[in-house]
């Protein structure tokens, strides 16, 4: 027994001594606390952040969306930093271990602060609208990138200072190294300064069609620190040093107010009108998709690249045909001056409803009434043709078209369109509870319809918000 007593005594001493003065009890408590904060981070990510993103997505203010997206990372990192700080407060390390934990806490807080500052640069730029009148958007993006790099460097330097690593000697060493590098990197700085001049002078921007004699002709895709990427008309990419644009004349074709272009489009004899119509429909669908995904239309060069045209001029011909057709609007002189003409499909008129199917299924639609041809278009999702005389005392006759709004709140006294099992009916909602719904016909010859929602399939398609009398 003495052996066991000695072992348990030893076990108790080791448990109390722990690691570097912190008992295993404190370590377990600290780990538990940190785990709780990790769970809190998961809650913040899944619920709070998602709720905020869903709320700001409804706003037309781009600043709200940019701020939310930018701060998502630091906000998710905060519970980890705070959790580690709280957890480490339960640990009473001695000597170097205590200093290490203190440095680690300071480093995490420093990283968090600089991360917040780094992420705030982009949304902050959106608030300063007047800058875009002085600086081009491309130059502003360049400055933002430079500021972000500077913040990262400062954050790294501050973290090194916490760990006792002096950055002064490092900077001095880098200064001597930089002098040596500068002597052999004159072209690099030449291109950098030239790129800044191009942006400041607003010679061109991303998306512009430019021509530099003896150098390049094509569409600008990116303006970098050292070089500019241009998409040539043969779909190849060219990377041009920025000094070429500073030393030579740049013709910006996209800024031309009026120009005459002549080209020949080759068609095979076997090319039919159906094939031409097909390719134009495909181009139209491509433009719609690009607007939905990116928020802006493609350029002629991008269309030509996707569909394998030899030049943007071929794409322009198809765009003009789509404009003539009345589905596109084209702004002359703008590389992305393409917009979709909104189509008025009209409000559907529902006739005989198919059993079990959606009320707005194609087979139920007998015709459409253009919105411009009726005064009830606002707030009307569809018209329903009335069958029978159960609502004549409410002024609703057979073959009348009742205007239905699917979003209006269903309440007592409303004329509702109800689906009971597979049958759709128009009645006045007399009362509604969890156990009983009473639908009242507006004809004394008919009895009320009583429905138990728990045992019968009952749903509401909408409420009546108007009436049209069809004399056709």
Kindly name the residue from 129, 390, 430, 447 that is annotated as catalytic.
390
Ramachandran angles phi, psi of 408, nearest 5°: -65, 140
Cα(115)–Cα(97) distance, integer angstroms: 27
Q: Residue 377: is it exposed, middle or buried by C-beta count within 10 angstroms (0-12/13-18/19+)? A: middle
Q: Would you call 147 helix, strand, or coil by DSSP?
A: helix
CA distances from 362 to 267, 354, 359 (A): 39, 10, 9
**Residue for token pair 């690249």:** 305
Q: Is 382 exposed, middle or buried (0-12, 13-18, 19+ CB in 10 A)?
A: buried
- Catalytic, out of 427, 430, 444, 454: 427
Nearest-angstrom CA–CA distance, 99 and 323: 72
For the four alpha carbons of 292, 293, 298 and 302, in that order, the dihedral sign comes to negative
At 427, list the tokens.
């009645």
**Cβ partners under 8 Å of residue 319, min gap 6:** 283, 300, 303, 328, 330, 338
Is 427 catalytic? The answer is yes
Query: How many Å apart are CA 382 and CA 394, to the nearest integer?
Result: 20
372 counts as catalytic: no
Distances (CA, A) of 169 to 113, 161, 166: 25, 12, 7
Which residue numbers are catalytic?
Answer: 390, 427
């Amino acid at each position: 027994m003495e052996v066991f007593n000695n072992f348990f005594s030893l076990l108790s001493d080791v448990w109390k001594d722990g690691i570097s003065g912190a008992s295993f009890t404190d370590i377990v408590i600290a780990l538990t606390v940190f785990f709780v904060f990790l769970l809190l981070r998961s809650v913040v990510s899944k619920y709070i952040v998602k709720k905020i993103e869903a709320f700001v997505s409804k706003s037309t203010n781009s600043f709200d969306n940019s701020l939310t997206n930018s701060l998502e990372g630091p906000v998710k990192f905060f519970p980890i930093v705070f959790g580690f700080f709280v957890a480490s407060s339960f640990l009473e390390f001695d000597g170097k271990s205590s200093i290490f934990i203190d440095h680690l806490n300071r480093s995490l807080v420093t990283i968090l602060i600089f991360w917040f500052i780094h992420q705030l640069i982009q949304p902050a730029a959106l608030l300063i609208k007047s800058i875009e009148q002085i600086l081009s958007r491309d130059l502003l993006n360049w400055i933002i990138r430079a500021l972000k790099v500077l913040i990262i460097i400062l954050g790294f330097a501050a973290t090194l200072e916490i760990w006792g690593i002096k950055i002064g000697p490092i900077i001095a060493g880098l200064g001597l190294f930089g002098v040596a590098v500068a002597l052999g990197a004159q072209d690099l700085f030449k291109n950098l300064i030239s790129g800044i001049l191009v942006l400041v002078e607003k010679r061109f921007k991303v998306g512009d069609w430019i021509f530099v004699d003896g150098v390049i002709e094509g569409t600008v895709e990116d303006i970098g620190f050292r070089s500019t990427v241009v998409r040539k008309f043969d779909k190849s990419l060219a990377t041009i040093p920025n000094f070429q644009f500073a030393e030579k004349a740049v013709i910006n074709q996209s800024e031309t107010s009026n120009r005459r272009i002549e080209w020949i489009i080759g068609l095979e004899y076997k090319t039919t009108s159906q094939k031409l119509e097909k390719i134009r429909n495909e181009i139209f669908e491509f433009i719609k998709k690009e607007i939905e995904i990116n928020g802006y239309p493609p350029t002629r060069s991008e269309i030509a690249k996707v569909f394998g045209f030899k030049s943007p001029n071929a794409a322009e011909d198809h765009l003009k045909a789509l404009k003539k057709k009345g589905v596109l609007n084209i702004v002359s002189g703008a590389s992305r001056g393409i917009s979709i003409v909104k189509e008025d499909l009209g409000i559907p008129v529902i006739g005989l409803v198919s059993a079990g199917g959606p009320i707005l299924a194609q087979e139920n639609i007998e015709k459409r009434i253009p919105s411009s041809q009726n005064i009830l278009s606002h707030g009307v999702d569809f018209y329903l043709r009335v069958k029978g005389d159960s609502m004549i005392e409410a002024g609703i006759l057979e073959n009348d078209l009742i205007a239905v709004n699917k979003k209006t709140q269903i309440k007592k006294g409303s004329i509702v369109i109800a689906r009971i099992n597979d049958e759709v009916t128009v009645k006045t909602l007399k009362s509604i509870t969890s156990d009983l719904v009473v639908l009242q016909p507006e004809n004394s010859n008919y009895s009320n319809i009583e429905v138990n929602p728990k045992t019968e399939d009952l749903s509401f398609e909408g409420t009546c918000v108007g009436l049209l009398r069809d004399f056709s």
